[in-house]
Amino acid sequence: MKMHRATQPSRPSWWRRFCLWLLRAMGWTPVIAPLPGPRGVIIVYPHTSNWDFVIAVLYRFGTGLATNWMGKDSLFRWPFGGLLQRMGGVPVNRRAASGFIGAAVEQFGAQDWLWLALAPEGTRKHTDHLKSGFYQIAVRAGVPVGFGFIDYPSKTVGLEKFVRFSGDAEQDIALIREFYGDKRGKRPPAAGELRFRER
């Protein structure tokens, strides 16, 4: 697989200051904890509204948080490939025998800087479980996980805590429930249940 350099922390700019000003003008308070290293996974929960994307983008650019996202490699062809990479995109070969999760783990070994942001619900509609891809990637790659959130009652958006999962799913999902128990999305009934699918 051809490797690409991931996005690294951005320097303050007029664009960054504008995004942060706009976020605050909308009534939101940004909270950010320093990243504990050059590689890791960030999950964002709950995700119940299209407005989440707007708030998350303003937060990302306003705080200078250098997060990445992954997409199939065919999206990164000319003429938009370079732009997508500058926006934090990292191409993965979904056709690889190792699958998406294996390809993501390989990227952690190949990149100097990679903070992969994922929405574990995978949808804005209610689900009875979280998708476990983020968990498998973090455990197999041996990287920390940051807990990101968009809490509408307090109008707080941020990244507040980092953990290293043990590999014991029941023990680790308890950490997730403890942190997100008081976080509410724009449409609380649409939030996914904080558990993994039973096997």
- pLDDT tens-place values along the chain, 199 residues long: 344 444 455 566 889 999 999 999 999 999 988 899 999 999 999 989 989 988 988 998 899 888 887 766 777 777 777 777 776 777 766 555 457 788 889 889 888 888 998 888 877 889 888 988 899 999 999 999 999 999 999 999 999 999 999 999 999 999 999 999 999 999 999 999 999 987 6
In a domain, 95, yes or no: yes
Within-domain flag for 119: yes
Q: Which helix (H) or strand (E) holds 57?
A: helix 51-63
Q: Which domain holds residue 141?
A: 26-33+41-164+175-186
Rg of the chain in Å (alpha carbons):
17
Q: Examine residue 198 and state whether it is found in any structural domain, yes or no.
A: no
Distance of CA 32 to the CA centre of its chain: 14
Domain annotation covers residue 17? no
Other residues' Cβ atoms within 10 Å of the Cβ of residue 23: 21
Q: Is residue 13 part of a domain?
A: no
pLDDT for the residue numbered 98: 55
Q: Which residues 6+ apart lie within 8 Å of 15 measured at CB? A: 61
Q: Is 66 exposed, middle or buried (0-12, 13-18, 19+ CB in 10 A)?
A: middle
- List the helix and strand counts (H, then E) for the chain: 6, 7
pTM tops 0.85, yes or no: no
- Is residue 192 included in any domain, yes or no? no
Task: Answer whether residue 19 is part of any domain.
Answer: no
Number of structural domains, the chain?
1
Indicate whether 20 belongs to any domain. Answer: no
Pairing assessment for the beta strands 114-118 and 39-45 based on DSSP bridges: parallel
Longest dimension (CA), the chain: 49
